[in-house]
């Protein structure tokens, strides 16, 4: 695929070997935050480019399946050494166990600015999914300087171990999208005031902070006007696998922001994308979903909010 890229999604891509609750296995399935976020953004139209590094063992057919979904894979850079590969064991009660089959590859396979193709450097928005903070900081600095809107979702472990670097990255971030656990780690508080935390993060640079609250929805803080709003989850969704829910929210939010410039509209699209992602194991729901289905669920979410006054 050639031409202008509207949205860049950067992060890690994985090879997942899945053991389902009934004992069935699905081997060598493409996973990772960059895939979930890119598929979620694709639901809302526009051109989406994937930026990541892959190992020399990453199956070419898996890469081509991404391209077949309408995703640009020019930014997928093949490197020497193994890919990130995980066992994911699912239980009937929803529990998941992740086992690294290849350890210590996250940093080596997190993309840097030198990996960014020319057409990606002119993108209107970039979503930096969870990866090593050093890569996020480098990409945020450069994409921001190039004029893109920068959205950042921190890596949970770095929110504890490399807190200072996360705060440095916020100076180059327009929209910050941490989870509630990442807020706890960044603030050092077990029971933080999420509204106060959002204002605190905004003081470091972002004009918008969106805190993902799991099944309680999301908090949206906008520095302009000092406004805080809450958005509920989509009702009556069958939750099967929450893997990738936050990444899907981020991808959908990025697409919504790029199209509308409205945090509220972006959050609606992020919420819908996340609700689709959790309805089956792995990335299957996002692979099968269509823009029409996403639009229908968006309309249903609007009706839900109007009815409940949320």
pLDDT tens-digit readout, 51-90:
999 999 999 999 999 999 999 999 999 999 999 999 999 9
Mean residue pLDDT across the chain: 95
Dihedral sign, CA of 301, 220, 51, 101?
negative
Task: Please give the Cα distance from 146 to 124 (Å, whole number).
Answer: 9
Pairing of strands 175-176, 149-152: parallel
With cut-offs at 50, 70 and 90, classify the pLDDT of residue 34: very high
**Domain locations in the chain as residue ranges:** 7-308
Q: What is the pLDDT of residue 289?
A: 94
Would residue 154 be called left, alpha or beta, if left means φ above 0 and alpha means ψ between -120 and 50 degrees?
beta
Pairing of strands 125-128, 7-10: parallel
- The mean pLDDT value for 261-279 works out to 97
The percent of residues above 70 in pLDDT, for the chain, comes to: 99
Is pLDDT of 2 > 80?
A: no
Q: 189-223, pLDDT tens digit by residue?
A: 999 999 999 999 999 999 999 999 999 999 999 99
With cut-offs at 50, 70 and 90, classify the pLDDT of residue 93: confident
Dihedral sign, CA of 244, 246, 252, 255?
negative
- The mean pLDDT value for 144-152 works out to 98
How many CB atoms neighbour CB 73 within 10 A?
A: 18
With cut-offs at 50, 70 and 90, classify the pLDDT of residue 310: low
- The mean pLDDT value for 36-54 works out to 97
Is pLDDT of 163 > 70?
A: yes
Q: What is the pLDDT of residue 309?
A: 67
Q: What is the pLDDT of residue 206?
A: 99
With cut-offs at 50, 70 and 90, classify the pLDDT of residue 1: very low
With cut-offs at 50, 70 and 90, classify the pLDDT of residue 103: confident
**Could you tell me which residues come within 8 angstroms of residue 156 by beta carbon, excluding any fewer than 6 positions away?**
130, 179, 181, 182, 185
With cut-offs at 50, 70 and 90, classify the pLDDT of residue 3: confident
- The mean pLDDT value for 216-237 works out to 95
Q: 106-145, pLDDT tens digit by residue?
A: 999 999 999 999 999 999 999 999 999 999 999 999 999 9
Task: Please give the Cα distance from 28 to 16 (Å, whole number).
Answer: 5
**Could you tell me which residues come within 8 angstroms of residue 220 by beta carbon, excluding any fewer than 6 positions away?**
208, 209, 210, 228, 229, 230, 231, 263, 264, 267
The percent of residues above 90 in pLDDT, for the chain, comes to: 90
Domain 7-308 CATH superfamily: Ribokinase (3.40.1190.20)
């Amino acid at each position: 695929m050639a031409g202008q890229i509207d949205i860049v999604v950067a992060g890690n891509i994985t090879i997942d070997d899945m053991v389902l609750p009934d004992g069935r296995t699905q081997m060598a399935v493409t996973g990772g935050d960059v895939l979930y976020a890119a598929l979620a953004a694709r639901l809302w139209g526009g051109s989406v480019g994937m930026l990541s590094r892959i190992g020399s063992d990453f199956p070419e057919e898996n890469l081509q399946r991404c391209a077949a979904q309408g995703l640009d894979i020019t930014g997928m850079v093949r490197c020497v050494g193994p890919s990130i590969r995980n066992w994911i064991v699912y239980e009937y009660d929803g529990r998941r166990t992740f086992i690294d089959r290849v350890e210590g590859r996250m940093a080596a396979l997190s993309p840097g600015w030198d990996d960014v193709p020319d057409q990606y450097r002119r993108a209107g928005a970039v979503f930096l999914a969870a990866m090593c903070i050093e890569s996020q900081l480098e990409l945020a600095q450069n994409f921001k300087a190039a004029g893109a809107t920068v959205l950042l979702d921190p890596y949970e472990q770095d929110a504890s171990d490399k807190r200072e670097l996360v705060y440095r990255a916020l100076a180059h971030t327009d929209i910050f999208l941490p989870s509630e656990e990442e807020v706890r780690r960044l603030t050092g508080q077990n029971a933080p005031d999420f509204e106060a935390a959002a204002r605190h993060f905004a003081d470091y640079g972002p004009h918008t902070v969106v805190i993902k609250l799991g099944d309680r929805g999301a908090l949206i803080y906008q520095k302009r006007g000092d406004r805080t709003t809450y958005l509920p989850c989509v009702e009556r969704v069958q939750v099967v696998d929450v893997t990738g829910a936050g990444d899907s929210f981020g991808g959908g939010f990025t697409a919504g922001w790029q199209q509308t410039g409205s945090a509220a509209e972006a959050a609606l699209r992020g919420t819908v994308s996340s609700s689709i992602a959790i309805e089956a194991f792995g990335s299957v729901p996002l692979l099968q979903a269509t823009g029409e289905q996403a639009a229908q669920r968006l309309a249903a979410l609007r009706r839900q909010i109007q009815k409940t006054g949320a």
